[in-house]
A and B are shown apart, each in its own frame.
Chain A
């Protein structure tokens, strides 16, 4: 052992010594540290999950309601011919109906602005109503009409009516100047007291002295914040700020070439900021007449927010307030149907062969290695396969649920095969032996006894595989299953379609503000389906799986 042992003197261990106690304390501290790291790691992971879900719920929740106006519309027989109600001038009807929320002297431009409060589909909504109620012609009807996206957001409080007049960085610049002590209060108003070098290169001595005083004012302000390269900084100076220099120089031309202190007035928003208020301006997204009309509608109590059934029953649309998930849900269903029809029988057959009949040879090994590797191939590679083989070689059409389902079945096959094999393995040998004992053939044992008993496990695995397929996006993008589907009529396995995840991808890419919350809502719907499928798998396992 150690040198001491060789020397014949055993090393002395003093178990109660201070040094030993310290060592023990240190060792336990290390133990506690490791434990703390573990808790921090778990907290981090679970916390991130929480943030993810919360941010989706918070942004997605508003999309489950939709702002609507109960618009009283007079169906003017002059504009809608009772013989052919579908061809009427509904745009004009809606315009007239909105006029009651505007001053009588509103210009055409203002009227056009106000029609933008409603969705662009508003005339068609009225038309559809009139076509289905022909007796409404000549009467005043009240139809709920969705508001367009900005006003929907305004009503939900996502977009404010007024916005901060100053950017965050402008406020920072102001605070820095405040800290330099150049923001001073003089005679009841705050102003900016700066050292100004009256540059002879910029000011002609006159008389009267002339020159670019505005540039001089900017230069002197810049001198205080040399690291800022932002023209928004100069918005701090009032428009008449250069006059302060001009006045000073005019009164005493000798100042040219010298440095003087000048008090510059602040521009209006900064003056408010100096008084400790946060300056606001009306949101530039809305025009005054729009806000006026919107407020008039709200005051009349005809603006309300019902549950957004359109989210589930409308197909996709370019306008967020009209866009729904019906097309995506139908497409997903068709794709999963194809995928299930292919992968369920093939998966069971492959698993049964490998588990029960396959001889131990090279081919069987090769198949098993292949299945294990396929389970780990990135899904985008399956998309390439679908594109090159199914679409390129076999000439199947793009964007259709048939191809999507075929690709998905290849992706889910390994999952189903592995789950089926596990389920088959869990059927006890006594069942097989009993069946063989009464003279059943191997195939009969399999088909009549083992497979029915293993079915709950197989179904569980299949549902989990399908849930996996439900969330796959990348392979579907490659085979073009992100088509724009504005109507769910004539959808089929050979018609272009979109699916929930690809719909989420397209909406996430859309610039309109309303699609942000629609995307979150679509994600919540997708997660809802996933939860249902997984619960189904759990229930199936608990109810039907037998413990032997």
Chain B
């Protein structure tokens, strides 16, 4: 239905483009030089007036239709049906009505629900026909209004360009809308979480057991939401990753930018960058398939028990993934040090190594720090490697040989296979997401600021 409607709107705009073009040519009796704007602009102007308002209307209609019908349904229920029900139970009732309306009847729905389901179906049909009618009439109205303005003196090019400008601005606002959407959705769900669980417990509690009972009488853990073990686990794995990535990345950047033959560099640098292009799910599988068993066998050999999903395995593999971030950003920072400083150092008789460690690295330090901060933010936000290779149980430990869990692992495990947004278990994922978003955002802003400030120094 919606697909056909959108196709219809597009067809109507194409038709009005052709029609308006002809009309513009006819208005001057075929002498096109008498038109202020070329006929195509007249066509584009009318087509925009036909297509854009109708399209926007459909979008808004689709957004509002669901909530409006739900509200109407609740009003139409016999008085007293929803008394004493909280939000989650009302949602449950609505979804029951919807599933009955869709023909999936489980058990014997009550008469109230059956009647509501019939109303729901009827209203939905009415709504979709109304949408078609309203959208098409808006399109036709647009056609009528715009069509009447076609005249030799009409500045159609200016009008069409103004519309184009509006479209361009709208497209660039999507970036802001996305950020707003992320922030608002995370904030709203996180606030709902903090209504049920106190922020104090979340930020300072030492016990994380989010598996709360879903049915009455189900035996599960108590449902504790103290996120400290999750945070420390994230920090532990990120720290291991950085311990791998910083030395390897930094030393390879130094070698590639200062010592390496250009031919060697042109081969090795893309190879290193390949590490960043491999999907993270591949690294996760690599960790499970190769790295963790190898570590376990090594542990057995030296008599140290290493858990199969130890923080070490996940962190080390994540470190490998991050190497190219550290190396290419350090490479850029070292290359950005002005030639004069390098030459000055050589002129004093310094060796290459001394020039690097005593002149280039200190001068490039802010850039390198910025790169490392970006890499840390990447490590904290990395998901698939830890989902596949790290643990699920949150334990408060600094031992890299034991399994720990991370913020991203918890987000994924809490949300997989669960759609209801009304229990603290799913909402906790959004609270964790909010923390993750804010921390990575702060790290990025800080990193960009450091890098920019340092660039200004030399320019």
Chain B facing A: main interface SS? helix
A353 in contact with B161 (CB, 8 Å):
no
Complexed CA–CA distance, A389 and B430 (Å): 12
Q: Which residues of B contact A480 (CB under 8 A)?
A: 416-417
Would A41 and B411 count as touching, CB distance under 8 A? no
Are A52 and B286 interface neighbours, CB within 8 A?
yes
Of the stretches B25-33, B274-282, B334-342, the one at the interface is B274-282
Q: Which of A34, A385, A395 contacts B178 (CB 8 A)?
A: A385
CB pair B353–A501 under 8 Å, yes or no, is no
Chain A minimum-CB-distance residue to B65? A395
Taken together as a complex, chains A and B put the C-alpha atoms of A350 and B175 apart, in Å, by: 9
Q: Which residues of A contact B285 (CB under 8 A)?
A: 56, 504, 508, 519-520, 523
A505→B281 contact, CB < 8 A: yes
B173: chain A residues at CB < 8 Å are 367
Minimum CB–CB distance from A61 to chain B (whole Å) comes to: 14
Contacts of B277 in A (CB 8 A): 467, 471, 530, 534
- In the complex, what's the smallest C-beta–C-beta distance from A419 to chain B, in angstroms? 15
Q: Give the A-B contact count at a CB cut-off of 8 A.
A: 255
Q: Is the CB of B282 within 8 A of A526?
A: yes
B256 in contact with A378 (CB, 8 Å) = no
Q: Which of A349, A353, A366, A378 contacts B382 (CB 8 A)?
A: A378
Q: Is the CB of B248 within 8 A of A530?
A: no
Q: Is the contact region of chain A dominated by helix, strand, or loop, or is it mixed?
A: helix
A474 to B66, CA, bound (A): 28
Check A373 for interface membership: any CB of B closer than 8 A.
yes
| B440 contacts A by Cβ under 8 Å | yes
A30 x B353 contact (CB < 8 A): yes
Chain B 363-399, CB-CB to A under 8 Å as 1, else 0, gives 0000000000010011011111001100000000000
Contact between chains at A353 and B172 (CB < 8 Å): yes
Flag the segment in A43-51, A78-86, A187-195 that touches B. Answer: A43-51
Stretch of B49-57, B121-129, B182-190, B204-212 contacting A (4+ beta carbons < 8 Å): B182-190
Interface range for B: 35 or more
Q: State whether B412 touches A372 (Cβ < 8 A).
A: no
Residue from A46, A51, A347, A527 in contact with B278 in the complex, judged by beta carbons closer than 8 Å: A527
Query: Counting CB contacts under 8 A, is B454 at the interface?
Result: no
* Given known A-B contacts A56-B286, A473-B279, A474-B412, A376 and B377 have beta carbons under 8 A apart: yes
- Chain B residues within 8 Å of A443, by CB: 161, 164
Q: Is A298 an interface residue (CB 8 A)?
A: no
Question: Is the CB–CB distance between B182 and A508 below 8 Å?
Answer: no
- Contact among A392, A473, A504 with B421 in the assembled complex (CB-CB below 8 Å): A392
Q: Is the beta-carbon distance between A477 and B254 smaller than 8 angstroms?
A: no
**Which B residues lie within 8 Å of A357 (CB)?**
165, 168
Q: Does A400 contact B (CB under 8 A)?
A: no
Contact status A380-B411, CB under 8 Å: yes
A37 to B440, CA, bound (A): 31
Within the complex, the shortest CB–CB distance from B435 to chain A, in Å, comes to 11
User: Of A48, A358, A472, A523, which is within 8 A of B320 by CB?
Assistant: A48
Q: Is the beta-carbon distance between A349 and B168 smaller than 8 angstroms?
A: yes
Given contacts A45-B272, A527-B282, contact A367 B185 (CB under 8 A): no
Closest 5 CB pairs of A and B: A38-B255, A378-B381, A471-B279, A31-B353, A388-B185
- Can you name 5 A-B pairs with beta carbons within 8 Å? A30-B353, A373-B444, A381-B440, A384-B411, A384-B430
